[in-house]
Amino acid sequence: MDIQRPSLSDVDELLEMWMALADGQRAYGSHLLVGENRSRIRETISHYVVADQLRVARADELCGFVMFTVEATRYEQNVERGLIENVYVEPAFRGEGVGSALLDAAEELLHSAGVDVIAIEALADNEAAQRLYHSHGYSPHRLELEKRISSE
């Protein structure tokens, strides 16, 4: 398995992987609508490929991806933050170190871009993702709380 920069010819396959990621996150409480965002996500993936902010894991086929960026903010901060926005590994390749290799690649590229800290999010009920991130040295920084407002 190699971690490499994707090409625009990979966008359609990456889109299908992202759709699987978004669909899987629904089980953990994600509010993101999958099919309704298809064209917007295709544009986003294309942008990340062109901006060199996406890496893929490739064996004989694509087996995962990671999207990352340097945080843009309106406010001055005492650190430059990198963001790892999506990590996905095809189910057949999970548990084989693909997610770790993708995280390592994104971290290295963000470090080269001059970031001081890297942030990553996981849904509160996604314990497998949290275990992976904790094993890579990530710890809670900010806690987002959510409350459902009834329509009554």
Give the tens place of pLDDT for each residue, 79-115. Answer: 999 999 999 999 999 999 999 999 999 999 999 999 9
Q: How confident is the model at residue 143 (pLDDT cuts 50, 70, 90)?
A: confident
Mean pLDDT computed over every residue of the chain: 95
**Which one, of 100, 138, 132, lies nearest residue 117 by Cα?**
138
Query: What's the pLDDT at 152?
Result: 63
Average pLDDT over residues 115-127: 95
CA 77 to chain centroid, in Å, comes to 23
Strands across the sheet with 54-58, in order?
2-4, 54-58, 62-70, 81-89, 117-120
Average pLDDT over residues 67-79: 92
Whole-angstrom distance, CA of residue 44 vs CA of residue 99: 21
Residue of 74 and 17 predicted with greater confidence: 17
Residue of 74 and 137 predicted with greater confidence: 137
CATH code that applies to domain 2-135:
3.40.630.30
With vertex at residue 40, the alpha carbon angle to CA 38 and CA 43, rounded to the nearest 5 degrees, is: 110
pTM of this structure:
0.92
Which are the contacts of 56, defined by CB distance < 8 A and separation ≥ 6?
Answer: 3, 4, 5, 6, 10, 14, 62, 64, 65
The rounded percent of the chain whose pLDDT value lies above 90 is 89
Q: List the domain boundaries for the chain.
A: 2-135
Three-state SS at 12: helix
Interstrand relation of 81-89 and 117-120 (parallel, antiparallel or unpaired): parallel
